[in-house]
Structure 1
Amino acid sequence: MHGIHYFGPFQFFMAAAGSRKLANQTLTAAAPFWTFTKQFRNHPMPYILESFKLADRSGMDTCKLGRVIMLSVVVSFILTFWTFLQFSYKWGGISEGRGIEAYTTIARWLVRPVEPDMQSLGAIAVGALFVFTNTTLRLRLLWWPLHPLAYPIAGYAAFRHLWFPFFISWLLKWGILKHGGIQTYRRTFPFFLGLVLGDFTIGSVWGIIGLITGEPTYAFKQW
């Protein structure tokens, strides 16, 4: 969930304990970790697990797949560092918010230490209880309409652009299940999955064409 901002382990610790209990050296050393604790980016583990599942179902050699994945991790690690440096030198690291946000936040905590935030902890507890309750009801009651993921997704920053497609998907699913039953739903599922895959495929192809030609093309992401 890319858009869940400022709720990593570091922010949670600040809300629970405050910054007064941490040494200045600890806060300063924690600044570089702000990049992947400020918000949740796309995590590689689900994709890797799904790759192994597909390989297992199709009879592929999972050992070879594991080696290929590890090689791709090393290659992407090197390319990411190179790309990041290229962009930073071209447009400027500070102007792109690289580093300045992390150290500005740490400096603020050093100058004005924060106390434990009971209000934030209370909100976390309420949210956890709400999701746990929805999960329990969904597992025990087939007719329960609320999915436990709906609550955290609602706080996703970009969801204001996505709520209507989600609503259309829910409405179509409800109509198919109500009037066609589970068999119709299973028959139509590949069609809707193909729509998603087609959108991603076309967006990726146009993006690659734009990189090769240097010309602006179809923008897959509009926000």
Structure 2
Amino acid sequence: MLAALSLLLFFLLSLAFVRMRVDGGLPITTVHQIMGYLFFVTIGTGPGLFADETYVGFGFLAVLGFTIIGMWPAMQFEGLKLAEQTGVGEGRMIWAMSLGLLIGLVSGTVFSLETMYEYGIFALQEQGGARDEARIGRFYLYLIKDAGTVEGGTDWLRLTFHGIGAASTWCLAALRQHFLRWPFHPMGFVFGIGFGWRLWGPALLGWFAKWLTVRYGGATTYRQIRPLFLGLIFGEICMRVLWAIVALWQGELGMGYGM
């Protein structure tokens, strides 16, 4: 029963992340699904409340959710949409994505395990996206280790705040559907309370640049300068690759970790 409910929650949250990425228009790539936490807040914790095997399962779900697997469907849908716009066959795109997934899983497992066993897991702390792997141990420590031994009831305070957030998002979505000129987008509320401290600067700058372009240049100018901003994104990715190659050439893993 709990396994089926966990899969259902995972599916619903993944759909929500897809909507956030598509409708919100912001490059959200790191969203974690904390399954065990939802059960602990709603039902409680303590010995006998769940079987020991269930607590272990919650621990593995924590790792699975912390690897941002919930964002994969959104990225895959974007890839399929891009293939559709560029004339690449859907079947060909699915095969390419599957091959990339297989290569990524194998190479990521090999290189991550080699680095962790030779230099320690916290060597990954300075390796970009690998920071999540280095933080999984802390995640266990904070949320999982005492769940089976410390008794606790339903956390009504957290449930209340979760409910207020869900109700506010639903109300904003309903108002936007019923009123054509409703100015507040539900995605703005979600981003503002969840990611605003990270995204307000880039989001404001991007919005202002787009507003200036459309306001004074029109749709034609907007289409003409869009490659410039795509080039900025691609350039940032290229610099990451460049410095990764330099670090490998210099024998540095980052922050003083020698190879």
TM-score by length of 1: 0.75
Shift of 1:128: 1.2
Deviates more, 1:173-182 or 1:132-141: 173-182
Secondary structure, counterpart of 1:108 in structure 2: coil
Q: 1:27 to 1:128 in 2, by over 3 A?
A: same
What CA deviation, in whole Å up to 9, does each residue of 1:153-195 have, x standing for no partner? 23446x5343222122223334445555566555554444443
Q: 1:146 to 1:130 in 2, by over 3 A?
A: same
* Identity within the alignment, %: 22
- Aligned equivalent of 1:112: 150
Amino acid of the residue matched to residue 44 of structure 1? W
Matched-pair contact (CA < 8 Å) for 2:44–2:152: yes
**Greater share of residues in helix:** 2
TM-score by length of 2: 0.66
Matched-pair contact (CA < 8 Å) for 2:175–2:182: yes
- Aligned equivalent of 1:12: 38
Q: Identify the match of residue 199 of structure 1 among 224, 236, 241.
A: 236
Q: 1:130 to 1:119 in 2, by over 3 A?
A: same
- Aligned equivalent of 2:249: 213
What CA deviation, in whole Å up to 9, does each residue of 1:2-24 have, x standing for no partner? 6656x522211111111243123
Q: RMSD across aligned C-alpha pairs, in angstroms? A: 3.2
Amino acid of the residue matched to residue 85 of structure 2? R
For 2:171 and 2:85, the matched residues in 1 are separated by: 34
For 1:205 and 1:39, the matched residues in 2 are separated by: 22
* Over 6 Å off, 4+ runs: none
In the alignment, structure 1 residue 133 sits paired with structure 2 residue 161: no
Matched-pair contact (CA < 8 Å) for 2:30–2:71: no
What CA deviation, in whole Å up to 9, does each residue of 1:81-136 have, x standing for no partner? 11221121123248845546426633311221221111111111111122122223
- Aligned equivalent of 1:144: 182
- Aligned equivalent of 1:220: none
For 1:94 and 1:187, the matched residues in 2 are separated by: 45
